[in-house]
Amino acid sequence: MSNINRPNKKFDAFMIWVVLLFPIAVFIFSPVYAETAGQKEFAEFLDNYLFGHGYYKPDAYPFASKITNSFSLVFAIFAAFIAAVIQGWKKYDFPEKNTIFAGFILVVLLIFFIWTSVVHMEFSTSQGRSFGTKASFYNNYFFYMTAMLSKTVVIYFAIRFILAFLVTFLIEWQEYRAKKK
């Protein structure tokens, strides 16, 4: 019997929906501004211990965006590890063509999106139209959530791919060493 793992498609679909809906739910249920003492303490906690200073805080909803950015990053990483553990630590059947190239692209995107989540971004406040370089882009709920969802999904998929690839590599390396003995 082969030790090849085919991911459970229903579970993968479920995890994708969870990863997509989590930032939306956090954003919808978060207050726009930190007004109460508890909210201000929570904002301070995010600034000191999570990624509260990361990304960009639109003027229209600074506290909600701070919470969404911080928790979506942590949740994407956590969900990728949970999904990898639940799917099992077995060899994955990767297509031989372009696997390394796809992995390289995912690692570059992973680094970029983690960097944008951790480092505070400043954007031009001029009123011109531009895709992602003006503050007005992120003050629009739809565009802000599109950026958050893209970031969360890419981080999730990149970590899932890296974990699956590493596990497959380690199992094949172990099998190779066992044959050599």
- SS3 for 5? strand
Kindly report, residue by residue over 83-101, the tens digit of the pLDDT: 888 877 777 777 777 778 8
Q: What is the DSSP string of 83-145?
A: HHHHH-S-EE---STTHHHHHHHHHHHHHHHHHHHHSB---B-S----SSSBHHHHTSHHHHH
From residue 34, give the alpha-carbon distance in Å to each of 26, 65, 165: 15, 11, 42
- SS3 for 61? coil
- Give the pair of three-digit tokens for residue 75: 């949740």
Tell me the pLDDT of the chain averaged across its residues.
80
The domain limits of the chain are: 9-180
Burial readout 60-94 (b: 16 or more C-beta within 10 A, e: otherwise): ebebbbbbbbbbbbebbbebbeebbeebeebbbeb
Give the pLDDT confidence score for residue 158 in this predicted structure.
92
Kindly report, residue by residue over 100-124, the tens digit of the pLDDT: 888 888 889 888 888 877 776 665 5
Q: Is the dihedral of CA 121, 162, 73, 53 positive or negative?
A: negative
- Percent of the chain whose pLDDT exceeds 70: 82
Selected residue with higher pLDDT from 159 and 138: 159
Give the pLDDT confidence score for residue 21 in this predicted structure.
92
Kindly report, residue by residue over 59-81, the tens digit of the pLDDT: 778 888 888 888 888 899 899 88
- SS3 for 175? helix
Q: How confident is the model at residue 39 (pLDDT cuts 50, 70, 90)?
A: confident
Decide if pLDDT at 5 tops 70.
no
Give the pLDDT confidence score for residue 177 in this predicted structure.
87
Q: How confident is the model at residue 125 (pLDDT cuts 50, 70, 90)?
A: low
Q: In angstroms, how far is CA 114 from the centroid of its own chain?
A: 8
Report the C-alpha gap between 41 and 36 in whole angstroms.
Answer: 9
Report the C-alpha gap between 91 and 44 in whole angstroms.
Answer: 43
